[in-house]
Amino acid sequence: MEKAEDFAPEVLQLFDKYVHGFIDRRGFLASAGKYAVGGVTAAMLLDSLNPRFAEARQVAENDPRISARYADFPSPEGYGRMRGLLVKPARAGGKLPGVLVVHENRGLNPHIEDIARRLALDDFLALAPDALFPLGAYPGDEDRARELFAKLDQNKTQHDFLAAARFLQGLPECNGWIAVVGFCYGGGIANMLATRLPDLAAAVPFYGSQPAAAEVVNIKAPLLLHYAENDERINAGWPAYEAALKKAGARYRMFKYPGTQHGFNNDTTPRYDEAAATLAWTRTIAFLNANLGRG
């Protein structure tokens, strides 16, 4: 798999716009063409940047160390009914702390399912909801997933994730301690949940959009915030967020990883940075253990 440094910075910026719906496939191809040299086409650039789920999978779906199933749960203030992947260690020694895993803006794709399985191997009860379930669930195609995602009523979707947190907390396998880990769009949801759930034990947003300053005073959970250095769009909101966190007396630690791109933790694409992702994930597991009754 190629690495971020194999692409012109302008191409990475175009890909970020494409992934987040600011330009469509045609727009990417039209703008990236000028950077396609040496027999490489714009379509080949896009193909190289798109996810390789199978190559990056760390925990197989049938791994005997885990127990996984899809679970439905009610969301009366959201879309009515939701579904998520629920994963736990196969030989859990009792009730476990719960971790809500929130995906990027493509729904519950194979990468986020793999993240949930990884958390189960660290002895957490992980629930990864699919925001696209009300629209037929993640379709197996990233472009189609982005199209569907734009059709969601975000107010209802936020309530779906609030319902997911309550469902996880109330499961008989859960010890009542819950945290949230989210990526990109999911990082924004993690920040939002921190403002809405007073009994949330911890929140870990990866390069997520920030909540309104007026909402930050409601944050009770400690935060571990991961940012990429080369992520102008998301980083623009950090100074105001930090000022609000300080004013509110919130507990937080922020790490910005040098030389990284937005999405550096996602090991299915060339934006993945192994060193930064490994460090960020090590910090995340330690943080969850410390704040979910284990540290």
| Residue pLDDT, tens place only, 73-126 | 999 999 999 999 999 999 877 899 999 999 999 999 999 999 999 999 999 999
**How many Å is the Cα radius of gyration of the chain?**
19
pLDDT of residue 40: 82
From CA 35, how far away is CA 106, in angstroms rounded? 27
227: Cβ contacts below 8 Å, ≥ 6 apart: 207, 234, 235, 238, 254, 255, 256, 257
* Structure tokens that stand for 263 in this block: 């999405």
Q: How confident is the model at residue 44 (pLDDT cuts 50, 70, 90)?
A: confident
- For residues 120 and 21, which has the higher predicted lDDT (pLDDT)? 120
pTM: 0.94
- φ, ψ of residue 267 in degrees (nearest 5): -85, 15
Q: What are the residues facing 256 on neighbouring strands?
A: 227
> Looking at domain 62-291, what is its CATH homologous superfamily?
Alpha/Beta hydrolase fold, catalytic domain (3.40.50.1820)
Residues 206-265 have pLDDT tens digits of: 999 999 999 999 999 999 999 999 999 999 999 999 999 999 999 999 999 999 999 999
pLDDT of residue 37: 76
pLDDT of residue 41: 87
From CA 151, how far away is CA 146, in angstroms rounded? 9
Domain boundaries, given as residue ranges, for the chain: 4-49, 62-291
From CA 161, how far away is CA 192, in angstroms rounded? 10
142: Cβ contacts below 8 Å, ≥ 6 apart: 50, 51, 106, 109
